[in-house]
């Protein structure tokens, strides 16, 4: 495990922090927390959660003007191959 908890309470807390940061246009923080969520979802092997958090990351990166990163996470959300998380 790489230091990111996989329990549902920790995942929910990271999600709440990400949502709060995104609502305040603090996209760098939102990305940090959504990445934690995405990594936890991958470890839990929860494909729907991986898709959800990948789309959240894509939206943040689009708001930041980082279209290539946004496209990467959008592709991850539409893929069955989650090895793109790398």
At 26, list the tokens.
């603090």
What is the rounded (10 degree) CA torsion for 19, 22, 26, 31?
80
Q: Give pLDDT tens digits for 17-66.
A: 999 999 999 999 999 999 999 999 998 889 999 999 999 999 999 999 99
pLDDT at 1: 43
pLDDT at 44: 87
State the pLDDT confidence band at 6, using cuts at 50, 70 and 90.
low
- The three-state secondary structure class of 15 is helix
What is the chain's percent helix, strand, coil content, to nearest 5? 75, 0, 25
pLDDT at 86: 47
């Amino acid at each position: 495990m790489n230091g990111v908890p996989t329990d549902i309470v920790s995942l929910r807390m990271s999600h709440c922090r990400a949502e709060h940061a995104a609502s305040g246009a603090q996209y760098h923080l939102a990305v940090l927390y959504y990445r934690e969520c995405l990594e936890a979802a991958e470890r839990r092997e929860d494909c729907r959660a991986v898709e959800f958090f990948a789309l959240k990351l894509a939206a943040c990166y689009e708001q930041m003007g980082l279209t290539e990163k946004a496209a990467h996470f959008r592709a991850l959300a539409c893929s069955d191959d989650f090895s793109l998380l790398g």
